[in-house]
């Protein structure tokens, strides 16, 4: 359920939060969707592999804004040394999602939302939301990784792409500006709900539901 509900919804809120703060990122994602899909139909599953920048936005959100601070605890079944750290048998081991994704030894400008860091112009493969090298955690990894990561990936990219394609997003004029210049990113969740102004950007016949 985390893969198909909590993770995608967390990405939606934080991705829109970051993209509204940086309109150039939002415009680049919108332009990509307009180029690949157009404005006469909604994004379909077959389009997702071509929406590389949108996928990079989702991946960057997973890195910077994990759905939980830690993974579920594990217990060491024997004495073991990993990367020079001795872990005695019976120890509880907690993996910090925030610590991995914001590690300055791994990520350049770790507290900055930069989707382009995940783009590889030399690769024909679409950007993957799963991180096998454990530089951050999206849907977990390893032998006991989340079995729903493929479904969660498709749902996450589809939701984000359709929200970006279908609506213009901006801050309401009567709402205090989203000023996070002092944000230290120690918290995983927004302290207050994200309030945005939404306007349709497609022709009325494109939307499947009529008011």
Average of pLDDT values for 15-42? Answer: 96
List 92's β-bridge partners, or say none: 75
pTM score:
0.84
8: which 2 tokens? 């995608």
Q: Which of these, 66, 178, 47, 60, lies nearest to 115 by C-alpha position?
A: 60
pLDDT above 90 covers what percent of the chain? 51
The answer to whether the annotation marks 57 as part of a ligand binding site is no
pLDDT class of 72 with cuts at 50, 70, 90: confident
Neighbours of 88 (CB within 10 A): 9
2-206, superfamily in CATH? Cytochrome P450 (1.10.630.10)
pLDDT of residue 97: 84
Q: For residue 147, is pLDDT > 80?
A: no
Where in the chain are the domains?
2-206
pLDDT of residue 15: 94
Please state the φ and ψ torsions of residue 53, each to the nearest 5 degrees.
Answer: -70, -40
pLDDT of residue 95: 82
pLDDT of residue 183: 44
Does residue 66 contact residue 97 with C-beta atoms inside 8 Å? Answer: yes
Does residue 207 contact residue 166 with C-beta atoms inside 8 Å? Answer: yes
């Amino acid at each position: 359920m985390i893969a198909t509900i909590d993770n995608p919804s967390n990405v939606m809120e934080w991705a829109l939060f970051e993209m509204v703060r940086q309109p150039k990122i939002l415009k680049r994602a919108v332009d990509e969707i307009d180029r690949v899909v157009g404005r006469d139909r909604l994004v379909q599953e077959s389009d997702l592999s071509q929406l590389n920048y949108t996928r990079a936005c989702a991946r960057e959100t997973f890195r910077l804004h994990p759905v939980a601070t830690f993974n579920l605890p594990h217990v060491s079944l024997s004495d073991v040394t990993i990367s020079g750290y001795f872990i005695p048998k019976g120890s509880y081991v907690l993996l910090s999602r925030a610590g991995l994704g914001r590690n300055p030894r791994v990520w350049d400008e770790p507290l900055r939302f930069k989707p382009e860091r995940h783009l590889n112009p030399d690769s024909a493969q679409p950007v993957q939301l799963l991180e096998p090298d454990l530089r951050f955690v999206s849907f977990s990894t390893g032998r006991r990784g989340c079995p729903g990561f493929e479904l969660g990936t498709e749902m996450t990219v589809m939701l984000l792409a359709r929200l970006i394609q279908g609506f213009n997003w901006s801050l309401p004029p009567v709402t205090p500006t989203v000023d996070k210049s002092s944000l230290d990113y120690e918290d995983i969740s927004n302290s207050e709900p994200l309030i945005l102004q939404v306007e349709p950007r497609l022709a009325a016949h494109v939307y499947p539901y009529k008011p």
